[in-house]
Amino acid sequence: MGDAVAAAAAELTDLVGDRADGWDRAGRLPEDVVRELAATGRLAAQIPARHGGLGWSSADGGEFTAHTGSLCGSLRSVMTSQGMAAWTVERLGDPEQAARLLPRLASGGTAAVAFSEPGAGSDLSAVATTAVLDGDTVVLDGRKTWVTAAGLADLLLVVARMDEGAAVAVVPRDAPGLRIRRVQDPTGFRAAGHADLRLDGVRLPADCLLGGGRQPLSLLVTTALAFGRLSVAWGCVGILRACVTAAARHAAARHQFGKPLGSHQLVARHLADLWTGEQIATRACEHASRSWDRNAPDLGTAVVLAKHIGAEQAARGAAAAAQVLASAGATDGHVVARAHRDAALTRIIEGTDEVCQLLLADHVLRSRG
């Protein structure tokens, strides 16, 4: 971890303090915390310096994301959302749009990306939201579900069908015809502002369409999901690190049958497996970030692999930590209780375990079959 990242991580530790459990129980992040991170560029640290961002590499951004995830999964989730939005603008927007939107996201503005719909989850080819040009305006109609950070975002990047292709429309949260309804009592990342959207005849200037629209849907999906998957993977590393720390401290301090809990072989096995899982997930993320920073040919596969390994290990690790802490970690809001719930969602968001396995199997068939 470089000096700048280490300094930012230390500041974030002070900012979050011991408040993450309270945010989780309340189901809401303080707006001032989110705004401070956005205003200092740390909510999307990979925005290029030429657009007012910190210009961090994927490796540095990933380590910061992992640290955030170790402190508060909901805050990491909002960070992932902001990074996905910025990356989508950077990749799909024209120069004028990038020059207008990226400095805003690097200096206090917030954004979320709306993919999923009632009938389009893992199969995003089923997206039914439409973007129809009408002169120099575009009209948006449709529904979006479980949009992370939509309850906090100033801008919503809405994926829609457009003619024979698709488009991403940048929609202000106060646009007439847009309704935002928070998801009530989500099981994981409870403070991340998940919300459902309804767009009824939302009319905006046509320049809200990134790159003018009419791009292949597959391009729009893979562009944003690539960033999101790697960010979630690094967040899983953070979950694992928090679980390792909590389990180790408890196992060293707690005594059973006359000796420290960690001295019992079956408990020691849990600790070893937990740490091993954290190391495996970290190495997969480091490889994926190196591939990202080099734009290596194996980038897509490396990102899917990191996400799949990270989510799988986070779920196993959180379950192991819960077993070690037993009732001591079963209180709502406890770091291990949060990790247990949050880790389960990482196996669904940005590509389910099953989707990741299909993608990896396809890679095997193409490269070795």
pLDDT per position as a tens digit, 233-275: 999 999 999 999 998 888 777 677 767 766 677 778 999 999 9
DSSP of 99-144:
HHHHHHHTTT--EEEE--BTTBSS-GGG---EEEEETTEEEEEEEE
Per-residue pLDDT tens, the chain, 369 aa: give them.
688 999 999 999 999 999 999 999 999 999 999 999 999 999 999 999 999 999 999 999 999 999 999 999 999 999 999 999 999 999 999 999 999 999 999 999 999 999 999 988 777 788 999 999 999 999 999 999 999 999 999 999 999 999 989 999 999 999 999 999 999 999 999 999 999 999 999 999 999 999 999 999 888 888 889 999 999 999 999 999 999 999 888 877 767 776 776 667 777 899 999 999 999 999 999 999 999 999 999 999 999 999 999 999 999 999 999 999 887 777 887 899 999 999 999 999 998 999 999 999 999 999 987
CA distance 116 to 93: 21
Percent of the chain with pLDDT over 70: 98
Matching residue, tokens 């790697």: 230
CA distance 4 to 264: 41
pTM: 0.95
- 3-state DSSP assignment of residue 179: strand
- 3-state DSSP assignment of residue 191: coil
